[in-house]
Structure 1
C-alpha cells in the first residue's frame, strides 16, 4: 500500500517518469520507507491498468532509453485520499525478525550473545548520530516539507527507545538473568 500511496501522492504534485519517482523517493523518503526500484515500475503498470494514473508522454533523449511520463487521474486522486485516510485510521502492529532471533538467543554461547547485543547497541548509537546530522541536511532542502521534521522525530524516538531497551537487555544478560 505505501508504494501506491507514495506514487499517487508524488504524481498529484506533477507528472513524473519512473526514474524521477525513484530519485525523489530515494532522496527525500529513503530514510523512512523501503520502496524497491522494481516495485515502482510494477506499481505504475498496475495503477495504469486500474485507471489511477495515465501515461501522458514518451520522451526520448539521444541514445538513452525512452521514458514514459505519468500523471494521476481523478480516480487516482480519490484513491490517494482513500489510501491516506486508511494509513491514519488503522493501527499497525510492527513485527521484528529480531524478536524471533531473541526467542532462540539462548542457543548461542553467552559471549556471542553479548557481542551481538553490543554490536546492535553501537548500531543504534550510529543511527541516532546519523539522524541528527541528516535531519538538518534534509530540512534545508526546499522540496522537503517542514512536517518531515516530525518524521525524523518519530524515527529518533524509536531509535532512542531501541537503544535504551538494548542497553537494559545487555545489562540483564550480563547479570545472568536469562540463563
Structure 2
C-alpha cells in the first residue's frame, strides 16, 4: 500500500532529485525541468512549483541556503536538500519502482461504458485512435533515436512510454478486428440496443446484485 506522503505532488520528486546535484533557486529548477523535458514523464504544473517548494521546506525536506538579488530582478532564494529530504526521496523512489499502483486511465473508463455508443461509431473512433497512436509511436521512436546519444539510463523512461504506446496500439488493433468481423461476443444485443433503444432480452439478467437478490428470495 502506498504511503501517505507529507508532500504528495509528483513535482516534488524531480525537485528533490535536482537539489541533490547542487543548491538551486526555483527559477533554476523550472529551467532544468524544461531542458530535461521531465514534463513528458511527470504531469507538471509549473505554477504550483513555488507551492511545492514551500511545502518541502515546511516539512524539512529542503532548507533555504541564501537569498540574493540580481539587478532589478526579484529576490531569489537558493534551496538545498536536507538529510530528511534525501531519505524521503529514496524511500519514495523505492516505493514507486517496486509497487505497481492502479492508475485509472480515461480510455479504460470509456471502455467500461463502451456500450453507450453504437458499434459502427466505435469502429470509426477506434480507427481514429489507431492513427493517433501510430503517429505518437513514430514520434517516440524518432525521439529515442535522438536520445540514443545519451547513456540509456537517461532515457529509459522514453523506452517505457513507447512500449506502452505500442501495447495500446496492438490491443486496439485486436479489438477492432473483433468488432469488424463481428466475432466479439455480445455484438448482436449491442446492435439491438441502439436499434430499439431498449435493453435487449439477452442482457436482462446481467446485474449481479439483481441476480443475488432473486436467488435469496427464491
Scaled to the shorter chain, the TM-score interval is 0.7 to 0.9
Task: Give the alignment partner of residue 176 of structure 2, picking from 170, 173, 177.
Answer: 170
- 1:87 match: secondary structure: helix
- 2:11 match: secondary structure: helix
Aligned residues: 176
- Could you tell me how far 1:31 is from its partner in structure 2? 1.8
Unaligned runs of 5+ in 2: 1-7, 191-218
Q: Deviations over 1:35-77 (max 9, x none)?
A: 2113322211011011111122333334433332211112211
Query: Residue 139 of structure 1 contacts residue 148 of structure 1 at CA under 8 Å; is this kept in 2?
Result: no
Q: Deviations over 1:94-138 (max 9, x none)?
A: 221212212222222333312221121111111111111112333
CA RMSD across the alignment: 2.0
Query: Residue 53 of structure 1 contacts residue 72 of structure 1 at CA under 8 Å; is this kept in 2?
Result: yes
Change (3 A) 1:161 1:76: same
* Equivalent-residue separation in structure 1 for 2:50 and 2:41 (angstroms): 20
Q: Which runs of 4+ in 1 moved over 6 A?
A: none
Query: Residue 139 of structure 1 contacts residue 146 of structure 1 at CA under 8 Å; is this kept in 2?
Result: yes
Report whether the alignment pairs 1:19 with 2:30: no
Change (3 A) 1:27 1:121: farther
- 1:132 match: secondary structure: helix
Moved more, 6-15 or 95-104: 95-104
Report whether the alignment pairs 1:6 with 2:14: yes
TM-score (norm 1): 0.86
* Larger Rg computed on CA atoms: 2
Query: Residue 16 of structure 2 contacts residue 86 of structure 2 at CA under 8 Å; is this kept in 1?
Result: yes
TM-score (norm 2): 0.72
What corresponds to 1:155 in structure 2?
161
* Equivalent-residue separation in structure 1 for 2:87 and 2:109 (angstroms): 39
